[in-house]
Amino acid sequence: MAKRLLILEDGTIFEGQAFGADVDVTGEIVFNTGMTGYQESITDQSYNSQILTFTYPLVGNYGVNRDDYESITPTTKGVVVSEASRRASNWRNQMTLDEFLKAKNIPGVSGIDTRALTKIIRQHGTMKATLAKPGDSIEHLQDQLRATVLPTNNIEQVSTKTAYPAPGIGKNIVLVDFGLKHSILREFSKRDCNVTVVPHDITAEEILHLNPDGVMLSNGPGNPEDVPHALDMIRGIQGKIPIFGICMGHQLFSLANGAKAYKMKFGHRGFNHAVREIATGRVDFTSQNHGYAIDRDTLPECLMVTHEEINDKSVEGVRHRDFSAFSVQFHPDAAPGPHDASYLFDEFLELIDAFQAENARR
């Protein structure tokens, strides 16, 4: 089996077995602590331009199927695993992980000590990394790695270019695509909503022209400060339409109201993150995928913290004191992960009902 190198920005070099596409790539290396859900993770556009390390020791054992795509064209840069299953066994299986990665032009490397790699990332933080063939000059590859500037237009890369519908007969929802997961569409479909997916650079005026009952701000990759146009859009619609933000949508909603974001040392990626709802003390295990978070000390008076991460106390949810708008840092749509927080979609629809009833009384 062909060899493949994993070279880290700090100079660390791992050698493993190549699988997936035969290409060299460079990106930000991160780790995911989930025990299953590798297909959903690889196809999650929040991993745009990142090399994804799975901490679970065996990946690929149930193959890839038609039901678990979070996007059809993933933009994950590469995949790092301890052991890649050679055979896939599941009644839904359509292809192996190796075949899938080849089809999507994503390289992988197995036989890596992912435990040691994760410790390095936890100690030094996320960093740039390269997946390359061993025949190339190590010094040249390291020089190229250090010189590489990672992209900042991640959301532009993954957002839809034109609006499209996900038809239903219920409430009319505009879903702003910053790199959405298809599971968000599935959750709205379960509730018979009529969804219109729109590009990341849509204006407030264009949203209002669609006459929605509510607006969803989706998840997405990168730094929320790289999409300032979205802040103007959010300020233009809040108070006029109920808003629900998820992950990137949560960060953009917070920034639009005056908060600031910061880059976390190694982020939250997995679906075993315990989150406490402050008002009730309820604890949900949640699916998360983000490298930035909202700085609690910069939150304006108009935003109240509704949820926090149990381990590091980071802000996991906010609600606007004056407008019908709230957001959460985690993924209530899960996929992969527990469905503890899926009730938030129902709360969003209830918020729309309350908003419309209040307007009818005026």
* Bond prior to 336 in cis (omega within 30° of 0): yes
Q: How far apart are CA 189 and CA 217, in angstroms?
A: 17
Lowest mean pLDDT among 21-25, 140-144, 190-194: 140-144
- Cα 192 to Cα 167, 185, 280, 341: the distances in Å are 8, 10, 29, 19
- Residue 356: predicted pLDDT: 96
- Residue 336: predicted pLDDT: 84
Which of 122, 124, 128 shows the shortest CA–CA distance to 143? 128
Q: Is 251 annotated as a binding residue?
A: yes
pLDDT in tens, 26-37: 999 999 999 999
Q: How far apart are CA 220 and CA 223, in angstroms?
A: 9
- Residue 252: predicted pLDDT: 98
Average pLDDT of the chain? Answer: 96
- Residue 1: predicted pLDDT: 76
339 has pLDDT over 90 = no
- Residue 135: predicted pLDDT: 79
pLDDT in tens, 89-121: 999 999 999 999 999 999 999 999 999 999 999
Q: Is 222 annotated as a binding residue?
A: yes
Which band of pLDDT confidence, cut at 50, 70 and 90, is reported for residue 361?
A: confident
Contact between 106 and 41 (Cβ < 8 Å): no
Domain ranges of the chain: 3-150, 155-361
Contact between 48 and 221 (Cβ < 8 Å): yes
Q: Is 248 annotated as a binding residue?
A: yes
Q: Is 220 annotated as a binding residue?
A: yes
Helix (H) or strand (E) holding 144: helix 138-147
Which band of pLDDT confidence, cut at 50, 70 and 90, is reported for residue 344?
A: very high
328 has pLDDT over 80 = yes
pLDDT in tens, 219-272: 999 999 999 999 999 999 999 999 999 999 999 999 999 999 999 999 999 998
Q: How far apart are CA 148 and CA 154, in angstroms?
A: 15
Active-site residues: which are they? 247, 331, 333
- Residue 100: predicted pLDDT: 98
The contacts of residue 178 (CB under 8 Å, 6+ apart) are 155, 158, 159, 200, 217, 218, 219, 220, 227, 230, 248, 249, 252
Contact between 174 and 212 (Cβ < 8 Å): yes
How many residues in the chain?
A: 362
More confident residue, 259 or 137: 259
Q: In the predicted model, what is the mean pLDDT of residues 134-138?
A: 83
Q: Does domain 3-150 have CATH number 3.90.1580.10?
A: no
Q: Is 125 annotated as a binding residue?
A: no
Share of the chain above pLDDT 90, in %: 94
Q: Is 137 annotated as a binding residue?
A: no
Which token pair is 178? 């910053």
Chain-centre distance of CA 69, in angstroms? 13
CATH class held by domain 155-361: alpha beta
Which of 267, 219, 271 shows the shortest CA–CA distance to 247? 219
pLDDT in tens, 167-194: 999 999 999 999 999 999 999 999 999 9
